[in-house]
Structure 1
Amino acid sequence: MHLPSHIQLPYLTLQILLVLDPSPPWDLFSALAIALMCSLIISPSLFVSFNIDTGVGYVDYMLGSTIASYAVHSFYLLLLGKPLKNFKSVENANELEKVHENWWKRILHVAYVMQSPRGVGWNYQVNNVPAAPRQPRYLFILTSFLRAACHAVLFEVARLYVWYNPACSSATVGTRSYGVRCADTIAFIGLTYWGLNAGYFAMAAGSVALGLCEPRMWPDLFGSWRDAYTVRRAWGRTWHQTLRWFLAPLGKAIPSVLGFKRGTSGSSYAQIYVAFLLSGLVHTGGDIVLSGSSTSAVTRPFFSMPFFFSQAIVITLEDLFIRIARRLGVKDSTWTRALGFVWVAVWFGWCVPGFVENMIRVGGGIRKSASRVGGNDMGPNLVQAAMVGLFGFDIGEFAESWFGA
């Protein structure tokens, strides 16, 4: 698997422009230029030589979504955020900081902002970030290292499951029994969840061990699953928050431009719909990349936007139901939360497998197809290699016989 080097162009260009801090109307022109650059990179019909095709559809989708997010980032950071003028550390909140005069400080300031989308310890920190750990340095390093190792193992196990499971290459996830379908989906989505956590905890342990950061700067990347007793809370509190730093401000700015009065229910729901619309737009970058990938079996697939926009519709209906229940005298309790968990499990158990099936159908999996020449792998599997080396047991052969692959 080869990662194309040009995928970093929008990211590097945005950092340079943020350091230069262009004034109007050049900030708008700069944002449009980055958006154009992103569209050229992800569109296979414009520059064939720029095609993002790693041979692994899952990775292609993630790269396409990341590049599309840079386009949205540019409009937020260049037009609204203005990091050099508006973003600062909470510890320096009482200082009247202006644009840094020293170029190296400007570069480091922008680099930190780009590497800290949740803004932990800064004045732009997003809402509902999990509580930062309060541990001695040595204990934080040890626990972070162990958590990174555990999540890496879970990632590799999920990768084995997806690789050898025929349902994850033939797009039949949605046709299997409910329990098996949920297991398939958890393994597939777990590639993102466990993969991100493994990298995050490894960086946390390394940065604290080197004395670059304090443990309080590394709150968990994901919230607690105990908070996910409504669809709204599952997205806003439990799932990762790395998109909220630009979705929330744009979600507030756009309804205001459209005439919604701030603080009203109309403004609140307009923010939700705009946020999920932008999230769908970001993930559509992955759809576009898959349409030109060698792993694709369908021309120009668009499945991400309906999935994300449907979340906003369901949250609206969910809020309406909760409002009616409160008027009838139903209060928050252990039983209502238990019912909420059942509802959330049913909803995601219904809609997420469809999303996964659509991604696999258009070539967004990681399993090699029998009809395709060449590999579609993400490199050697560490769990499989460890089992063979330590016990002489090839878990891959066992998985093949288990799944009938």
Structure 2
Amino acid sequence: MPVDGSSQRQTMRLPYHIPLPFLTLQILLSFDPSPPWNLFGAFAIALFCLLIINSSVFVSLNIDTGVGYVDYLLGSIVMAYAVQSFYLLLLGRPLKNLKSVEDKNKNEKVHEHWWKRILHLVCLMQSPRGVGWNHQVKHVPAAPQQPRYLFILTSSLRAACHVVLFEVARLYVWYNPACSSVTVETRSYVARCADTIAFIGLTYWALNACYFAMAAGSVALGLHEPRMWPDLFGSWRDGYTVRRAWGRTWHQILKWLLAPLGKAASSALGFKRGTLGSLYAQIYVAFLFSGLVHTGGDIVLSGSFTSAVSRPFFSMPFFFMQAVVITLEDVLIRTGRRLGVKDSFWTRALGFVWVAIWFGWCVPGFAEDMIRAGGGIRKSASRVDGNHMSPNLVQAAMVGLIGFDVGEFAESWFWE
């Protein structure tokens, strides 16, 4: 059946109010409030964030872009603002404790004028990994040592490659019914892994594309040196254990927030620094807060009319499960070392197999829970539902260059 021309076209509507908690937090930080006002400010921002992500409170502030996957990401971002407010207002105190290592004179004069304080905070908040600051997180990839012209060229090419990968994944996800249905069909292990790589890759490739484009533009304009733009994600070669896959490869952006919270919680619980108790307290607290941040996406999707998931809060169990598995993994590694097993090519190869099996089992389940909750790309898996994909660069290029509509091919591949 042809789609009725009068059917409503799905368009993504970006809500204007999402940055408001972030801007409010920066204004409060510029005043450097002392107790108890910093605590009141943190609670006020957290309450504002909850009002935004809870669709049953203020309908006018609902997060509804028309794309469930984007709604989930925006809900997680807003919840991250709430967690940031408690950390920065109560523990971080950026005007006093977080300083640039590039310009010491700037740090000394930051309190002189209000606009300098605002600029200090803007620069700080735009570097979530603390690159160029005294709180740079551990295991940030090595900064590129390249001439400016070469860095601009390579960053531009990398941005273009990630745009292509993002557009290919968007085609795959759009035409694959398993990535939009609220009743996900049983698929083979390999197919589920491929679906998950494309689905989660939308975030990975989009972030990288934006990051490398900004890096090239920033260096071209003379705003930064190439060394200020290390890769956004760590190398996949470092991910031969679950701990390393999270800590070195994937979780770079949130570590600046999660690591201090984990240390503070460990100290509050009475664990001494350097002990196993302190280490695992930090790991569990970090994943607990990571799950809390992503629960913002759960809350947004819980108000979706497409939601069909029986367990509306699926993010927290997934992230907490990672901490449990890391604990068991560490026990096995320590046991192996006591038995004389040393780090080698073969142990790392075995580690990569283990990590692939683990994430190949748990991440597809997480993605399926998100899709069931209404976090897919389309509102329906039906071929005749009035949804239309916005222009896709790969699809347009294929049609223009060789006259081949890859979208029609993908549709016939998945639906026949």
TM-score of the two chains, using structure 1 as the length reference: 0.96
Separation in 1, partners of 2:200, 2:263: 29
Q: Which amino acid aligns with 1:201?
A: F
Q: Which deviates more from structure 2 when the two are superposed, residues 340-349 or residues 239-248?
A: 239-248
C-alpha deviation, 1:17, in angstroms: 0.6
Distance 1:96 1:50, change over 3 A: closer
Question: 1:399 Cα deviation (Å)?
Answer: 0.2
Q: Deviations over 1:33-73 (max 9, x none)?
A: 00000000001111122110111000000000000000000
Residues 1:208 and 2:216 aligned together: no
Listed one character per residue, the Cα deviations across residues 282-327 of structure 1 (whole Å, up to 9, x for unaligned) are: 0000000011134433487111000000000000000000000000
C-alpha distance in structure 1 between counterparts of 2:197 and 2:361, whole Å: 12
Q: Output aligned runs, 1:10-159, within 5 Å.
A: 10-92=21-103, 97=108, 100-159=111-170
1:291 alignment counterpart:
302
**Matched length:** 404
2:348 counterpart residue number? 337
- Decide whether the 8 Å contact of 2:182 with 2:306 is kept in 1: no
Cα distance, 1:99 vs structure 2: 5.0
| Separation of aligned partners in 2, 1:376 and 1:244 | 37
How has the CA–CA distance of structure 1 residues 386 and 96 changed in structure 2, closer, same or farther, with 3 Å as cutoff? Answer: closer
Within 1, Cα distance between the matches of 2:89 and 2:233?
27
Matched letter for residue 172 of structure 2? Y
In the alignment, residue 89 of structure 1 is paired with which amino acid? S
Which aligned segments of 4 or more residues in structure 1 are displaced greater than 6 angstroms?
Answer: none
Q: Which residue of 2 aligns with 1:358?
A: 369
Secondary structure, counterpart of 2:136 in structure 1: coil
Structural RMSD (CA)? 1.8
CA contact (8 A) 2:68 2:379 kept: no
1:187 paired residue among 162, 183, 198:
198
- Amino acid across the alignment from 1:179: V
Kindly indicate whether residue 324 of structure 2 is the aligned counterpart of residue 324 of structure 1.
Answer: no
Determine the structure 2 residue equivalent to 1:260. 271
> Where does residue 281 of structure 1 map in the other structure?
292
2:377 matches 1:375: no
Q: CA deviation at 1:20?
A: 1.3
C-alpha contact (below 8 Å) 1:297/1:363 kept by paired residues: yes
Secondary structure at the aligned position of 1:402 is classed as helix
* Distance change (3 Å), C-alpha of 1:68 and 1:95: closer
Aligned-residue offset at 1:95: 8.7
Label 1:158 to 1:43 Cα distance change in 2 as closer, same or farther (>3 A).
same
How far, CA to CA, are the matches of 1:174 and 1:233 in structure 2?
32
Identity value in percent:
81
Residue 120 of structure 1 aligns with an amino acid whose one-letter code is V
Picking from 223, 226, 237, the partner of 2:237 is 226
What is the CA-CA distance between 1:180 and the residue it aligns to? 1.3
Letter in 2 for 1:175: T
1:46 alignment partner, SS class: coil
Change (3 A) 1:365 1:95: closer
**Partner residue in 1 for 2:408:** 397
Supply the AA of the counterpart residue of 1:282: V
- 1:376 shift after superposition: 6.8
Contact kept, 8 Å, 1:57 with 1:295, in 2: the verdict is no
Moved more, 221-230 or 41-50: 41-50
5+ residue gaps, structure 2? 1-11
Secondary structure of the residue aligned to 1:175 is coil
Question: 1:141/1:95 Cα in 2 relative to 1: closer, same or farther (>3 Å)?
Answer: closer
